[in-house]
Copies of this chain bind each other. A is one copy, B any other.
Amino acid sequence: MTPSASALRLDTAAQDLLFRQAHSTHAFTGEPVTDETVRAVYDLVKYGPTAFNQQPLRVVLIRSPEARRKLVGHMARGNREKTARAPLTAVLAGDRDFHTELPAQFPALPEAATRFYADPGVRERSALFNGGLQVAYFIMGIRAAGLAAGPMSGFDAAGINKEFFAEGAHFVLAVVNIGRPAEDVRHSRGPRLDFQQVFSTA
């Protein structure tokens, strides 16, 4: 165990499951991912914090061959085959109209929604950032379920939005393949920035 691993309260098996031994995955076994598992993931990660308790994340689970065929057509070339073969693929989107739910979701400050009505650009940024928080919690939840996630940003966003979110208030944030990893297919991990490259003190 490294000194930093033992300095944390989270046990090392959980550290490995969520972060240290987890990898973005490109090839999966054929084992299906059930709706029950996805519900269990959401029932955990829905508690992750966001600004004003806003919850812009929306998820489309791709179950039909027709929807998968359409989605694959909007993916970047390098993401097509793995998306065609994944046991489950989720299209994660942000809802620009999250502010209409704020009075119910953040009763502590009923006026929180008012700041979002005037400016669609503020809503867009908020849904992008807080949707990002929720995408990260969702990825952690997939790993918490003992599954592997293959999150992707290489796709034609306008095409996906037109195909799956034609009503206009939702916009794609990420596409995530989900399943049990095929054991022997794993890309090497890219380097991470050092502590002193990221942190400074004031």
Copies of this chain, complex-wide, total 2
Query: CB within 8 Å of B: which of A178-202?
Result: 187, 189-193, 195, 198-202
A39-71 interface mask toward B, CB cutoff 8 Å, 1 = contact, 0 = none? 111111111110111010111111110010000
Q: In the complex, are the beta carbons of A37 and B7 less than 8 A apart? A: yes
Say which size band chain A's interface belongs to: 35 or more
Q: Decide yes or no whether A31 CB sits under 8 A from chain B.
A: no
- A interface list, Cβ under 8 A from B: 2-5, 7-11, 13-15, 17-20, 22, 24, 35-49, 51-53, 55, 57-64, 67, 91, 101, 104-108, 125, 128-137, 139-140, 143-146, 149, 151, 153, 164, 173-174, 187, 189-193, 195, 198-202
